[in-house]
Homo-oligomer: A and B are copies of this chain.
Amino acid sequence: MQKYFISLNDFNNREITGSDVFHIKNVMRSNIGDSIIISNQVKSYLVKITNISEKVAFEILQELDGNKELPFFVGIFQGYPKGDKMEDIIKHGTELGASLFYPVLMKRSIIKLDPKKIESKLIRFNKIAKEASEQSNRDIIPLVENIKKLEKIDFSSYSVKILCYEEDSKNGECHKFKNIIKNLKESDKIAVLIGPEGGIDETEVKYLESIGFISCALGKRILRTESVVFYVLSTISYEWELK
C-alpha cells in the first residue's frame, strides 16, 4: 500500500496537500474510500480517503506499528560521483535504511560548483529521499545535506567511522569491516565514507585515518562507487535485523 509523508500541520487538519495530491489522483488513481498509509514522521497510520479535490481529506482507521528502521544511525558520506549517480545512491540508500546523506567534494570528484544548480539539486535530492522512503515503507525520511568539501565536515558526533577503501580489497584485507559491524553497540552512530569514481586520494586517506576512520575492504572484488552503499547497508541489515 502506498505511503505518504505529510507535515504535522496537514496531519492535524486530516488533509494531504502539495504534489502528493497529484500522485494520489493521477499516478495511483485512488478513489474515495480507498486506504493509504500516512506518516507524520512520528507515527504511521492506515487512513481512508474521504474526499478528493485540490486537497485529499482522510480519516484515521488505525495507528500502525513502526520500527522499519535500522537499529543504528548511519550517515552516508558520498564522494560526489559523476552524472546522476548521486540520485541513485540516495534512492537505493534510502530503501536500505540510511539515516542521512552528505554529498562530499573530494579531490577526485569531477564536478563544477554552480551555486544556482546546487540549490535545485539539493531540492531534487531531498524529493528523491522522500519518494524512496514512501516506496520502501520507512518510518522517517533521511535528510540530504548540502554539498560540502571533505575538510569542512564535522564527524565528531560519530562513534564509528568506516572508510570504504578499494586498495584494502586489492591487498586482501578481509576482517576489519565485519569486525566493526559485529561489535556495534546500541548507541553507536556510524559514518560511512565512500570515495568517488577515481577513488580516495592518499592525503585524504591519511586525514581520515587521523580523525578516527578505519579503512576496510568490502569483499574480494572492486566495487563501483554507487554499489558500496548497498554493500554496507545490506550487511548491517543482515547482521542486525535478521536473526
A184 to chain B, nearest CB (A): 14
A92 vs B221: C-alpha distance in the bound complex, in angstroms? 11
Point out the residues of chain B lying under 8 angstroms from A242, CB to CB.
174-175, 177-178, 219
Q: Are A174 and B241 in contact (CB under 8 A)?
A: yes
Residues of A within 8 A of B (CB-CB), count: 34
Q: Is A138 an interface residue (CB 8 A)?
A: yes
The main secondary structure of chain A at its interface with chain B is: loop
Q: Are A224 and B135 in contact (CB under 8 A)?
A: yes
A113 vs B135: C-alpha distance in the bound complex, in angstroms? 29
Bitwise, A189-227 to B at CB < 8 A (1) or not (0) is 000000000000000000000000000001111111001
- Stretch in A10-18, A47-55, A229-237 touching the partner: A229-237
Q: Are B235 and A136 in contact (CB under 8 A)?
A: no
A223 vs B199: C-alpha distance in the bound complex, in angstroms? 28
Point out the residues of chain B lying under 8 angstroms from A237, CB to CB.
218-220, 231
Which residue of chain B has the shortest Cβ distance to A217 in the bound complex?
B242
Given A96-B223, A97-B219, 14 more pairs with CB closer than 8 A: A68-B221, A95-B223, A96-B219, A136-B223, A174-B242, A177-B242, A178-B238, A218-B234, A219-B241, A230-B230, A230-B231, A230-B234, A231-B238, A234-B234
Residues of A within 8 A of B (CB): 67-69, 92, 95-97, 135-138, 174-175, 177-178, 181, 218-224, 227, 230-231, 234-235, 237-239, 241-243
